[in-house]
Structure 1
Amino acid sequence: MQLNRFRLSTLSALVSVVLCAQPVWAVEPFKVRDIRIEGLQRVEPGTIFVSLPVQVGDTYSDDKGSAAIRSLFSLGLFKDVRIEVNGDVLVVVVEERPTVAEVEFVGTKEFDKDVLIKSMRDVGLGEGKPFDKAQLDRAEQELKRQYINRSLYAAQVITTVTPIERNRVNLTFTVVEGDPATISEIRIEGNKVYDESTLRGLFDLDTGNWMTWYTKSNRYSRAKLNADIESLRSYYLSRGYLEFKIDSTQVAIAPNKTDISLIINVTEGERFVVSSIRLEGDYLGKNDEFKTLVTIRPGEAYNADEVAKTTKAFTDYFGNFGYAFARVEARPEIDRTNNRVVLNLNANPSRRAYVRRINVAGNTRTRDVVVRREFRQLESSWYDGDKIRLSRDRVDRLGYFGEVSVETHEVPGAPDQVDLTLNVVEKPTGSLTLGAGYSSGDGLGLSFGLKQDNAFGSGNSLGIQVNTSKVNRVLVLNTTDPYFTEDGVSRTIDVYHKTSSPYEDPDYYKLITSGATMRFGVPFNETDTVYFGGGFEHIQIKPGTLLPTSYQDYIDEYGEKSIGFPFTVGWARDSRDSALAPTEGKFQRVNAEWSFAGDARYLRTTYQYQQYIALSKKYTAAFNAEVGWGKSFGGRSYPVFKNFYGGGLGSVRGFEQSSLGPRDISGSSVGGDRKFNVNAEVLAPFPGAGNDRTLRMYGFFDMGMVGGPSEGLAINKDADQVRASLGVGLSWISPVGPLRLAFAKPIRKYDNDRIQTMQFQIGTSF
């Protein structure tokens, strides 16, 4: 009986195999008269019709039906798809996936909500998109990855899916962030020449200090650890330890996921000295010129930094002649017996190339044309390394970007062409000030100030200042178009109206100043610009109580109303490597204002000189000097409103702003027609902030004076007028601009000087 059952089963299986091997149609092919779609809620019917491989009038078959199902599933919009046949009508039945109505995050303190929403969209999950469980899993993993990058290894993510009406769902990511994983121990083993504390001082990562709240330097990051390991390797290689190596790096995380231990094992090797340097390969017949670029000398310890600096200088120099693909390889020949090394610099200039295309990346707000017009390397021109570096520096000096870099890419299939990509990182370029106050004498005053150096991404600057105080009313408008003409001629327009009085009472004096100026800047070369322009100024003094003596003298000589027509001319040269945080280069500026018509006739000139010197990777020396001089014409006195002032940030720190110089009998500072000041600074990393260049401290020495018409600037006359100070300060490139905080101690002062030990400024460096 069992044998018969076995034979029957075997026979049935064989019949099935034979039948399946023959082409059997579930539906006989037919001509489609109509196509109906059922189950749609939000998806447009056209989306399905476009995806179907069969249309009205075509012949339908099982193959086309299978292809249609695969095509509709690939859209990712449907949970289920069926195709039914009703006579000669094709019916497509779909079940749509739920749509994400809202994505909410709960408990996320470490990240801004917009950042998390963007990361969710990057994995395909966002509001208005179809809901997919697989994408939800990827979203959870991405969210955890974001927290791991912030050293929050203990973070837990719980996802809640809440169905709502119209086949939609709300997604809620509830995060328990936990405590960040911090480094409890860093050990370096195998070091003999340098002690561990010296080597650990090279790292950005540490076990925590009083500035950890700002730097977060005790939070573990794989990227930071790799950078620190490279710093350690560079430290040894730059001191002759050519065979230094990292044997292993051990990262141990405690079970609580909040304590991390780092152990780095090293082998120092022997110290090597360079015995000779050889140039090998093709140097375009310019060997002597290339030799001048070598910065490492025989008899000195092998220095990988200097070797890298030399090879880069070589490739840059090749680039000046159009050789964008030049390769320079440093090949050391090691004599381990005598601890000597022969450095062979092998050069292969390869082929000359020209630039096919220049791309700009990262400018989310600034228009392409604002960046491109600073480029001196042109498309379809020979590759020129000097012009490319100059272009990068010019873009950086705009001050619109936090980072600027240039990448070179080979063009596939075109061995003599390259593409350049200028990568920029946008930074805030505007500042906003709002204020309100009330006093019995001043009444209610509202102040508003806006300055945008890159208005609407156009490269133009726009500024407005308003004060509605009853006793100090101000309205100032200014704008600068740096490319008023295609040749780079700039135009600046200033319009202002100011009214000031000590009190609202009409019995007190008032000073009303109105005017407008227009200036043009003409670039003569890459670093020099000449400025010229003209303007109109109307000054009215309404006499009254508390009128300063200097104002009365002005009325006696010029009258209560006076006008002037100042003509300005100037010159500026800027070779700094950055306008925001320079470390190298010079800046010079000369400006003259000459009023040759109207009531007030005078000449007012200023000269400023700045120089920045990189003492090392961390330290920078800065020097600033400024001289001002004024003279009147037509037998009249120099106008009091054109006087120079000194004291405070930008002049001699430690003294109250604009308090230096002559005073009238009321004790008010009236300034003088001559001045000078000298400032010297050394900038260094802020303690505990590592190598963060946006937050630095500095020590300074200031010296300067302001002289009146009869005092001049002669040393024998003005030695007693000079003030000086010493101090320290804090420099921070904040989101609203460079911030400077100074603590100064005057070392040369007089009894009536107004001392101000702490001073604060948001603006320029000096």
Structure 2
Amino acid sequence: MRWIAGAVIGSALTHAAWALDPFVVQDIRVEGLQRVEPGTVFASIALRAGDTYTDEKASSAIRSLYSLGLFKDVRIEAKGDVLVVVVEERPVVADVDFVGLREFDKDTLKKALKEIGLTDGRPLDKSLVDKAEQELKRQYISKSMYSTEVVTTITPLERNRVNISFAVVEGETAKIRSIHIVGSKGFSESDLLDQLDMNTGNWLSWYTKSNRFSRAKFNADLETLRSYYLSQGYLEFKVDSTQVEISPDKTAIDITINVSEGAKYVVSGIRLAGNYLGKEPEFQSLITIKAGGAYNINDVTKTTKAFTDYFANFGYAFARTEVRTDIDRSNNTVALTLVSEPSRRVYVRRINVAGNDRTRDEVIRREFRQFEASWYDGQKIRVSRERVNRLGYFTDVSIDTQEVPDSPDQVDLLVTVAEKPTGSVSLGAGVSSADGLGLTFGFKQDNAFGSGNSLGLELNTSKTSRTTVLSTTNPYFTEDGVSRTFDLYQRTYRPYSDYDSSSYGLETDGVSMRFGLPVSDNDTIYLGVGAEKNLILDGTYMPTVYTNYVDSYGYSAQYLPLTLGWTRDTRDSALVPSSGGILRTSAEWSVGGDTRYARGTLQMQRFVEVTRKVTFALNTELSVGASTGDRAYPIFKNYYLGGLGSVRGYEQSTLTTGTQRDAGSTYYGGTKRVVVNTEWLTPLPGGGYDKSLRAYFFMDAGGIYGENEDIKLQDMRSSMGVGISWISPVGPLRIAFAQPLSHFSGDKIQNIQFQIGTSF
């Protein structure tokens, strides 16, 4: 092929510049230019007036002009002592268009072609056109649309221009018709097929695309199948062959996987070999492999990872742990030897950040606990990654260790992030037969201008409750990580405005400032101060407790509350946690003004990964308030119950329990509140292991009690139901269908509720 290519080029140059005797060039002319500037030609050839012409210089000039990609023909002629460069320009692309597209966005494809040079105003390059056509076909094949046809048409126009049109005839999407696993004896075929992401289709395939074949998904499923067998003791399992057959009409795919299971092995013993830095007991405690049990690749992988992570805590970034197997086929046992080599100890030279097009470097770097010019510490690096991921600004955070050339004791860390939109919208709604649809709205920008600061707005526009809250948080008010938050709020609550616009109400205006002091990677203490004014609005339906309070202390009260809180957050993810939890305590104490009171809340959330698919979530909350002065506990500081965030199935803030139940439809809260929520979350049937779209079953219970009342279980409201949780582009969306289990006369039932932006 090289010889043929050389012959072709040599022939072209021979015809482009006939052999001429050397002569002194007196002038150079260029003919055939239409759009290209003459200066471009002169700058690309080495010949100048006064130079001696040779065939070698002419050939070099022709090659240089061809390499510009602007000409499809170049010749050099001599007329006396004048050198004439004759060129024929490539046509210019006037327009690139796609016809028949449905699966892909036309503008996105045009942008992709522009990046490779195939766009309006650029010279036509046939090789790029062919490459674009083949890539478009490949993209359709990746979506299982094998019968798609792409026809490229180049249409000449006046003034040496062309239009390029890609006409697409999209065929039907090929669906997986059957999947068979041949050779399995230890497990039924249906059990094995349940392990695969690809399937023959179900009611959710329109969302998961699980019945579409792709080579990447197929290879991943083969690895999943292999891991499943290795986790069940089949140490010598292997995939012998695979067949993927497409029907003649290219709309159906049949898959056959041939496997050899081998025997099932039991671990007879485990021993350590190699260098363990004199810490063998510590490494022994990290072993999760069970002698006497079936060989499990998951336990082996977990153990080797724990070993390398533990080595990394001492600066050994390149430690290796190899598992050697001694198989006894006569007894179906295997002895494991863990051989470790810590390699060399290193320190971090530099930490580089990539992928943060919007977020400033300092926002990421200030979360790091591993510092430059310090010994490599695997634990600090893992904590650093968790802290960056917990910011909520990125869909993915990865940290790669890179060796420094010619410096065996140094490494660089590359932190790669994938940014996501940090502006979120929170919505809440409920439907009831009495009041119809009620809405709440909130907007929050968690990473304003890439600074890491947050700005928030919360609005509630329902008839009974109107709220406006403005807030801003600087998470690094000081270099040590002390945060500062300002809140400005106005709330008006009229529980009977649905029936009478002149009914009583409660209006609250306030401003607060609080600081968050980090005391560890997971713990933060909060201190704050505020100023608040409450006004009881006179009107009809005013409860007796409000009338008595007004008669004793008047309609308005102004006071200065101090706040103190502590939060411990150990969740593995802020969006879809499957382990860890949150523990919160908060207290509020009025130190000045017209009234004295104290109140506090203890809340615990816990997440447990029951299986790879199922997560159990528990939320418990206890809130208590009491008077600390001569006045009674202020009625406007009561807690409320019902609806989103407490007991689903009831309208927001309308539940009354204890002796207050006799008040019928009077909702004035209480000084004690108890809430318990439980949830079981699992991917939707047919959704595989996708945690972005899950179904959940829940049970809620809660009660509100007065200052002198005991908490009684028989007075608590409860509900149960099912729902759908979806990590949508604007935040976590949750729809709940709830049915009250214990309710009393006067309770306002609300069976359908949804919310965006919160968990429980």
Pair in the same fold by TM > 0.5: yes
The change in CA–CA distance for 1:26 and 1:613 in structure 2 (over 3 A counts) is same
Alignment counterpart, residue 461 of structure 1, candidates 445, 454, 458: 454
What residue number does 2:67 align with?
74
- Determine if contact 2:22/2:52 at 8 Å carries over to the other structure: no
Aligned residue in 1 for 2:575: 580
Which residue number in structure 2 is paired with residue 745 of structure 1?
739
Residue 237 of structure 1: CA displacement? Answer: 0.6
Task: State the 1:427 CA deviation.
Answer: 3.1
Instruction: Give the direction of change, closer, same or farther, for the CA distance of 1:357–1:591 in structure 2 (3 Å limit).
Output: same
Give the Cα separation in 2 of the matches to 1:536 and 1:172: 67
| Alignment correspondent of 1:685 | 683
1:268 equivalent in alignment to 2:261: yes
Question: What's the offset of the Cα at 1:149?
Answer: 0.9
Aligned match of 1:726: 720
Partners of 1:81 and 1:489 lie apart in 2 by 70
Q: For residue 750 of structure 1, what is the amino acid of its counterpart? A: F
Matched, 1:536 2:531: yes
Aligned-residue offset at 1:242:
0.6
Displacement of 1:227 after TM fit? 1.1
1:301-450 aligned at under 5 Å gives the runs 301-432=294-425, 449-450=442-443
SS in structure 1 at match of 2:374: coil
**8 Å contact kept, 1:465–1:475:** yes
Q: How many residues align?
A: 733
Partner of residue 28, structure 1: 22
Which TM-score applies when normalising by structure 2? 0.89
Shift in Å at residue 541 of structure 1? 4.2
- Asked if the contact 1:558–1:600 (Cα under 8 Å) also holds between the matched residues in 2, the reply is no
Tell me the equivalent position of 2:152.
159
Match of residue 597 from structure 2: 602
Paired AA for residue 708 in structure 1: G
Aligned to 2:633: 638
Q: Tell me, yes or no, if structure 1 residue 659 matches structure 2 residue 654.
A: yes
Q: CA deviation at 1:488?
A: 1.5
- Preserved contact between residue 31 and residue 57 of structure 1 (Cα < 8 Å): yes
Q: Distance in 2 between matches of 1:434 and 1:196?
A: 45
Q: Give the match for residue 136 of structure 1.
A: 129
Secondary structure class of the residue paired with 2:176:
strand
Distance 1:619 1:472, change over 3 A: closer
Q: 1:599/1:99 Cα in 2 relative to 1: closer, same or farther (>3 Å)?
A: farther
> RMSD of aligned C-alpha atoms?
3.2
Query: Structure 1 residues 539 and 108, CA, compared in 2 at 3 Å: closer, same or farther?
Result: same
The worse-fitting range, judged by mean Cα deviation, of 640-649 and 298-307 is 640-649
| 2:701 aligned partner, one-letter code | M
Q: Distance in 2 between matches of 1:404 and 1:646?
A: 39
Instruction: Write the letter of the residue equivalent to 1:615.
Output: V
Deviations 1:614-658 (A, max 9, x none): 222222222211111112232223233322122223212222222
Q: Secondary structure at the match of 1:30?
A: coil
Who is 1:706 aligned against? Answer: 704
Q: Contact 2:20/2:54 (CA < 8 Å) preserved in 1?
A: no
Superposed CA deviations along residues 13-52 of structure 1, whole A, max 9, x for unmatched, are xxxxxxx9xx99626353677x666655555666555544
2:96 matched to 1:103? Answer: yes
Check whether the contact 2:679–2:696 (CA below 8 A) recurs between aligned residues. yes
Q: Is the 8 A contact 1:37 1:93 kept in 2?
A: yes
In 1, the alpha carbon distance for the partners of 2:557 and 2:85 equals: 88
Greater Cα shift, 577-586 or 638-647: 638-647
Q: Is the 8 A contact 1:664 1:670 kept in 2?
A: no
Aligned partners of 2:74 and 2:85 also within 8 Å? yes
Tell me which of 200, 221, 224 is aligned to 1:228.
Answer: 221
Which one-letter code corresponds to 2:704 in the other structure?
V
Distance 1:602 1:417, change over 3 A: same
Instruction: Identify the residue that residue 525 of structure 1 maps to in structure 2.
Output: 520
Aligned partner of 1:478 in structure 2 is 471
Structure 2 distance, partners of 1:505, 1:82, is 93
Which residue does 1:205 correspond to in 2?
Answer: 198
1:219 — aligned with what? 212
- How many Å apart are 1:664 and its aligned residue? 9.3
Q: Deviation of residue 53 (structure 1)?
A: 3.6
* Shift in Å, 1:431: 2.7
TM-score, structure 1 as length reference: 0.88
The structural deviation recorded for 1:168 is 4.0
Unaligned runs of 5+ in 1: 1-19, 437-441
1:82-97 aligned at under 5 Å gives the runs 82-83=75-76, 93-97=86-90
- Structure 1 pair 694–435 and aligned structure 2 pair: CA distance change class (3 A): closer
State the one-letter code of the partner of 1:707.
Y
Mean Cα deviation higher: 279-288 or 453-462: 453-462
8 Å Cα contact 1:651/1:704 also seen in 2: yes
Distance 1:471 1:217, change over 3 A: closer
Larger mean Cα displacement after TM superposition, 570-579 or 257-266: 570-579
Residue matched to 1:4: none
Shift of residue 165 of structure 1? 5.7
Q: Which amino acid aligns with 2:199?
A: D
In the superposition, relative to structure 1, how do residues 490 and 106 fare at CA in structure 2: closer, same or farther (>3 Å)? farther
Question: Who is 2:644 aligned against?
Answer: 649
- Cα 1:435–1:327, aligned 2, differ >3 Å: closer, same or farther? closer
- Higher normalized contact order (CA 8 Å, seq sep 6+, divided by chain length): 2
Residue 299 of structure 1, CA deviation: 0.6
Report if aligned partners of 2:182, 2:256 keep a CA contact under 8 Å in 1: yes
**Unaligned 5+ residue runs, structure 2?**
1-13, 430-434
**Conservation of the 8 A alpha-carbon contact between 2:23 and 2:52:** yes
The CA distance in 2 between the partners of 1:32 and 1:726, in whole Å, is 97
Partner of 2:758 in structure 1? 764
Do the aligned partners of residues 338 and 468 (structure 1) sit closer, same or farther apart at CA in structure 2, a change above 3 Å counting? closer
Structure 2 distance, partners of 1:357, 1:735, is: 35
Cα distance between partner residues in 1 of 2:643 and 2:440: 23
Aligned to 1:755: 749
Q: Give the Cα separation in 2 of the matches to 1:330 and 1:214.
A: 41
Q: Percentage identity across aligned positions? A: 60
Contact residue 694 and residue 733 of structure 1 kept, 8 A: yes
Distance 2:555 2:31 in 1: 88
- Native 8 Å contact 2:665 2:746 kept in 1: no
Equivalent in the alignment of 1:237? 230
After superposition, what is the alpha-carbon deviation per residue over 1:85-131, rounded to whole angstroms, capped at 9, x for unaligned? 67777665544433334333232222233442344345442344332
Going from structure 1 to structure 2, the CA distance change for 1:88 and 1:360 (only over 3 Å counts) comes to: farther
